[in-house]
Structures are given as C-alpha cells and as structure tokens.
Amino acid sequence: MAIPFRTDHRKGPGKRFGVRTPEESKALNHVNGPAIIIAASGMATAGRIVRHLKQRLPDKSTTVLLVGFQAAGTRGRLLQDGARSVRMHGRDVPVQAAIETIDGLSAHAAQRDLLQWLKGFAAPPQRTLIVHGEGQAAAGAYSMQFARY
C-alpha cells in the first residue's frame, strides 16, 4: 500500500516529512517496521496520536518519547508513571512499549517567564489567575511569587 506522504525533493528522493489529512494519518497505521511519528497532542489525550498509540503501545519494539510536562490524570502522565495499560476508545490497551521522557521542553511559560512578563507592565494587573498546572504549584509557589506584583 502506498502511503501518501508529502516528499521534500530538496532533501533527496523519498525523504518523507509529514501528513496533513486524517486519511494520511490513518495510513501511518499500515507502516510496518520503524517509524517516527511526531504529534502535537503532548499529553496524549486527544487527536490523531491516540490512534497511533493504540496501535503501537502493545509492540515491545516501540519507544514512545514524551516531551514536556504531562499533567496529572492525562494519558501521557499515566504512561510516564509506568501504567501497564491505558484506556483508549473504550478499550484497555496493554503497554509493552518503552516509555521515555525528555524534561524541559514545553510550550507553556514557566514561573520565571510569567514573572518576567509581569515585570513588563508599567502598572501590573490587579489580579493574575493561574489556570494551568499542577494544583500545588499553581496554588502555592506561583501565587506566592505573583503576590509581589
């Protein structure tokens, strides 16, 4: 079966670099052998990556590389914490894949970045709400730092 990848001919024939449609993504499930699938759903809670994980997690030759923060209660955190199975599409999927993590890569601002942002105001906002992150960090350490502004 031919997989409808887009090809970047500047890098040489056959250098595949991505899929754009749901159909192209589904076609990845027919790729046998090694593959690198990069997805934007960082915590593996929704999107196309769920289908790819469902197929590849039971395979011992698969490595799932989680980058960035995985919030409590998400599929990404379950995998990171060593779950032996995860629920997807109403079914328990066994985890035989190796799960690895690279910390420090996140699309979200860290405490330092948020404080720097607050320093940029001539008159800081009267109230800043933290609505994302682990409960203890959001309610405790962050709010103490923000109290200065």
For residue 125, give both structure tokens: 């906002």
Q: Assess whether pLDDT exceeds 60 at residue 129.
A: yes
| pLDDT at residue 96, rounded to an integer | 95
Mean pLDDT, range 110-115, rounded to an integer? 73
Whether pLDDT at 69 is above 70: yes
Confidence of residue 58 (pLDDT cuts 50, 70, 90): very high
pLDDT for res 142:
55
Total Cβ atoms within 10 A of residue 94:
12
Helix %, strand %, coil % of the chain (to 5): 30, 15, 50
d(CA 6, CA 8): 7
Residue ranges, CATH 3.40.50.10890, the chain: 33-102
Higher pLDDT residue, 133 or 82?
A: 82
CATH code: domain 33-102 is 3.40.50.10890
Are β-strands 16-18 and 63-67 bridged in parallel, bridged antiparallel, or unpaired?
A: unpaired
Calpha distance 109→87 (Å, rounded) = 30
d(CA 79, CA 87): 11
Q: Please give the model's pTM, rounded to 2 decimal places.
A: 0.65
C-alpha pair distances (Å), 109 with each of 14, 16, 106, 126? 37, 32, 8, 20
**pLDDT at residue 94 above 90?**
yes
- Encode pLDDT of 16-27 as tens digits: 557 778 888 888
User: 136 — phi, psi (to 5°)?
Assistant: -65, -45
* Residue 99 pLDDT: 93
